[in-house]
Amino acid sequence: MSGLHGFCTSINPKLIRIYNPTTTNPFPNRTTTNLCLNHHHVISAVHLFSSSEALTLRRVSSMATATPSSSTDESKPFSVLFVCLGNICRSPAAEAVFRNLVEKRGLTSNFRIDSAGTIGYHEGNKADGRMRAASQRRGIEVTSISRPIRPSDFREFDLILAMDLQNKEDILSAYERWRFKEPLPPDAPKKVKLMCSYCKKHSEKEVPDPYYGGPQGFEKVLDLLEDACESMLDSIVQSQNAPTSAST
């Protein structure tokens, strides 16, 4: 199946966990506000930044120059969107794996992490039970609710990760269609990267679709995602700490 459906006009925000109070908080003097939108959609907004966090955020946003990004607002978390076909197997798992790593490093408040599908067929559904179970066995909770990619994603996200070549092509086709209907950043296509381009331990070029296969397919997906997410986060942190022309 290929090609994107028309963009979603309904308000369907995913669960966006900017700050998780159950993990170690490197910035204790910050509070959060939870705004319930409906029975399964919560936006967690972060308020009151300490000066050390302001510094960290400035560093995070400075990586915009080192990786594809149009983010110029230094107070904005760095935003990463994972995209596959249905948004019920690979990209929700990628979202969970990456969030888990970010939480372990105490960087939760510096990131906005989300996922989407190039089709809206599974919109509103939980991730595939097989994917959730395989992730759970590795201590990773997959909580996201499926939604299709939308035009605003090209404005809002700094980095868009496609799971396979077809996904990447579909994401770029959607951009080409939508940019004639509403203003989208001209450099947005540069934000779209293949997930496996970050893999260090694996030589695969794509994260294979596990949907019609057996259980070993879900394990392979997680092996690739753990490899890619680890080195992607390393490269983000590294580039945010690198001196930029503006700071030298």
Binding site for ligand 4NP (CB under 6 A): 1, 84-90, 121, 209, 211
| Under 8 Å between Cβ of 123 and 12 | yes
Among the options 17, 84, 170, 229, which is catalytic? Answer: 84
- Our answer to whether residue 84 is catalytic in this structure is yes
Among the options 17, 90, 132, 147, which is catalytic? Answer: 90
d(CA 147, CA 3): 15
Identify which of residues 63 and 85 has a Cβ nearer to ligand 4NP in the complex.
Answer: 85
Identify which of residues 106 and 217 has a Cβ nearer to ligand 4NP in the complex.
Answer: 217
The token pair at 158 is 């700094």
33's enclosing H/E stretch is: strand 31-38
d(CA 21, CA 50): 16
The token pair at 184 is 């989208």
The token pair at 175 is 């951009």
Residue 192: which region, alpha, beta or left (left: phi > 0; alpha: psi -120 to 50)?
beta
Sheet holding 159-162, edge to edge: 111-117, 78-84, 159-162, 192-194
> Mapping DSSP to helix (H, G, I), strand (E, B) and coil, where does residue 116 land?
strand
> Which residues are bridge partners to 148 per DSSP?
117
Q: How far is the CB of 160 from ligand 4NP (least distance, A)?
A: 15
Residue nearest ligand 4NP (C-beta atom): 86
- Our answer to whether residue 209 is catalytic in this structure is yes
Q: How far is the CB of 121 from ligand 4NP (least distance, A)?
A: 6
- Our answer to whether residue 155 is catalytic in this structure is no
Among the options 147, 209, 227, 229, which is catalytic? Answer: 209
Q: How far is the CB of 119 from ligand 4NP (least distance, A)?
A: 8
Identify which of residues 107 and 194 has a Cβ nearer to ligand 4NP in the complex.
Answer: 194
Q: How far is the CB of 23 from ligand 4NP (least distance, A)?
A: 27
Identify which of residues 61 and 167 has a Cβ nearer to ligand 4NP in the complex.
Answer: 167
Q: What is the DSSP letter of 8?
A: P
The phi, psi pair for 72, rounded to 5°, reads -120, -15
Identify which of residues 49 and 121 has a Cβ nearer to ligand 4NP in the complex.
Answer: 121
Q: How far is the CB of 87 from ligand 4NP (least distance, A)?
A: 5
| Catalytic residue list | 84, 90, 209
